[in-house]
């Protein structure tokens, strides 16, 4: 099983739709979780951290299910500007190499007018 797995998509959704991405991770001792956004031919940028209790940032909601080892990102009321690739990122447990973030391959989202 790969360390971090994401559905590559693409997800093609109309403006205003709600879309959800899931990500699974293999190391149950993983410490922290994040979603990054990468626009086409651009660098990745942190979108939001994922907290155990779930967290929201405007139209974006991130959730963590430690028991099932998956993370989700929900985008409500999709905008054209949300079109990008969303990367799931996992931080391993404390210890040697604990800062080596593991990136998923990304899920591509296209929001259609």
Partner 1 sequence: DAEITQSPRHKITETGRQVTLACHQTWNHNNMFWYRQDLGHGLRLIHYSYGVHDTNKGEVSDGYSVSRSNTEDLPLTLESAASSQTSVYFCASSAGLNTGELFFGEGSRLTVL
Tell me the two tokens of residue 42.
């651009």
Using the contact rule CB under 8 A, the part of the chain among 13-21, 61-69, 72-80, 100-108 near partner 1 is 100-108
**How far is the C-alpha of 13 from the C-alpha of 64, rounded, in Å?**
24
Q: Which is nearer to partner 1, 21 or 34 (CB)?
A: 34
Residue recorded with tokens 């651009």: 42
State the Cα angle at 52 between 46 and 58, rounded to 5°: 50
Tell me the two tokens of residue 71.
């993370």
Q: Work out whether 89 is an interface residue with partner 1 (CB under 8 A).
A: yes
Q: Which is nearer to partner 1, 60 or 76 (CB)?
A: 60
Q: Mask: binding to partner 1, 30-49, rule CB under 8 A, as x and -?
A: --xxx------xxxxxx--x
* Neighbour-count burial of 50, counting CB atoms closer than 10 A to its CB (0-12 exposed, 13-18 middle, 19+ buried): buried
**How far is the C-alpha of 24 from the C-alpha of 74, rounded, in Å?**
15
Contact with partner 1 (CB under 8 A) among 61, 63, 73, 104: 104
Which positions from 44 through 83 interact with partner 1, judged by CB under 8 A? 44-46, 49
Are the C-beta atoms of 103 and 23 separated by less than 8 Å?
no
Q: Work out whether 106 is an interface residue with partner 1 (CB under 8 A).
A: yes
Q: Work out whether 91 is an interface residue with partner 1 (CB under 8 A).
A: yes
Interaction site with partner 1 (CB under 8 A): 32-34, 41-46, 49, 87, 89, 91, 98-101, 103-106
């Amino acid at each position: 099983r790969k360390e971090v797995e994401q559905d590559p998509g693409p997800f093609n959704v109309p403006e205003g739709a709600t879309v959800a991405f899931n990500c699974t991770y293999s190391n149950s001792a993983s410490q922290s979780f994040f979603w990054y956004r990468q626009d086409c031919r651009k660098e990745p940028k942190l979108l939001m951290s994922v907290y155990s209790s779930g967290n929201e940032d405007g139209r974006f909601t991130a959730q963590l299910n430690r028991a099932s080892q998956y993370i989700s990102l929900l985008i409500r009321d999709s905008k054209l500007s949300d079109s990008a690739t969303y990367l799931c990122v996992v931080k391993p447990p404390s210890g040697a190499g604990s800062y080596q973030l593991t990136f998923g391959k990304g899920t591509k989202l296209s929001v259609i007018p």
